Amino acid sequence: MIVAKQHMIMVLRFTAYTPWGDVPSYFDYDSDPDEDNTIANYYSVSYDTENDESLRLKSAESLLLHLASYTPTLLKVAILSNHEVNFNEFVFVLGTDLNGVSLNNAANNSNISENLNITIFTPSNPVPDGFVFSDYGVIFLESYNKTFVDEWSPEIKCAKAGGAKIIGYNLSSDIILPNVDLYSDDYTDIERYWIQGGAANMENMLISMGQKFSGLWEEETIPEPVLLKEKLNLTFIVGADSNLYYLDKVTNERDVILDNFNVNIMTPSRCSCKPHRCFRPGFNIGVYDRRALISPQLSGVLSAAKDSGTEISLGNTADVYGLNTVDTQNPPHDVIIEYLDKDGKDKYGESHPLYWCRDL
């Protein structure tokens, strides 16, 4: 009996490390330096002459073992690197039952089904083993962590290499597959429809996605989302000018915030002088003052609010008066402090105040 062995030749191009010029046109493993990539990580450690020799050898061994273990998958990525996907094929992989029924009803509407072929997986109807994502032009992932998504990652990367649009909603932060930015003006309506839910919003979301990704319904005017969710009331008491600027900007300009929140923004001094403006029944309160302590006057206002059942977050301000009802020093709400500190000063720009509202 003759046993056929599987061989794979890879040309590794790491522009940060290799001195040579253009590589051949056959399969080329490209590494994004900003992406957490197993092959790139092993290769870079084994290549760097400043590393200890034993560490370099161990990394080289790990690289070979990884290539041996994942050769079928890597071969598929190589073969499909120029593969074109079908933008009339959508697949939704939902980790919750939030919109499953409404989405399925909308997908079966004749106006939708005659133009798009939509596959929907839910917690009660999960993705089967071996499911092929690589032909789908639009892949929507909702409410999953990296452990689950890693199982589908090679197939999704094949689709992505073929030009597929990958949408992620409520995914863990270490999942880097999505290439559609729901926070951008071009795609924010997708999220707006999804958050509100309901049959009409799901149908309009699919039509909107068909317009943007599939060249369908180009002349059709799509209605604004039907607001079905009750708005959450938030008061922000903010001491830093930059925080005030960006928070005011996103709450006035981002429709996804206006759809879901009534936002009241004040400074600590104004709140102390005009407590009736700060203390509104039904408004949860977030205090973001970079000073170490809040004033006795403001603490009296907040204490009265707390006694009436208002939720209060003091952010990174010391809670000497026992006012906190939301723990922002520990997970899961400690991320609010990060948003506060990053503000609008880095590459994330205005997104951080947007996240404050979401997390509260």
Tell me the C-alpha distance between 297 and 268, whole Å: 9
pLDDT over threshold 60, residue 32: no
264 in Cβ contact with 283 (< 8 Å): yes
Neighbours of 208 (CB within 10 A): 19
User: What per-residue confidence (pLDDT) applies to 61?
Assistant: 67
User: What per-residue confidence (pLDDT) applies to 14?
Assistant: 39
pLDDT over threshold 90, residue 100: yes
| Span of 5-19, 82-96, 206-220, 236-250 with lowest mean pLDDT | 5-19
Mean pLDDT, rounded, for 206-235: 94
Mean pLDDT, rounded, for 167-189: 93
Out of 3.40.50, 3.90.1720, 3.50.50, 3.30.980, the CATH code matching 232-359 is 3.40.50
User: What per-residue confidence (pLDDT) applies to 145?
Assistant: 92
The reply to whether domains 86-214 and 232-359 share a CATH topology is yes
**Number of helical H runs and strand E runs in the chain:** 14, 10
Residue 353 or residue 61, greater confidence: 61
Q: Where are the domains of the chain?
A: 11-79, 86-214, 232-359
What pTM was computed for the model? 0.71
β-strand partners of 169:
142
Domain boundaries 86-214, corresponding CATH code:
3.40.50
pLDDT over threshold 60, residue 2: no
Residue 206 or residue 74, greater confidence: 206
- Percent helix, strand and coil across the chain, each to the nearest 5: 40, 15, 45
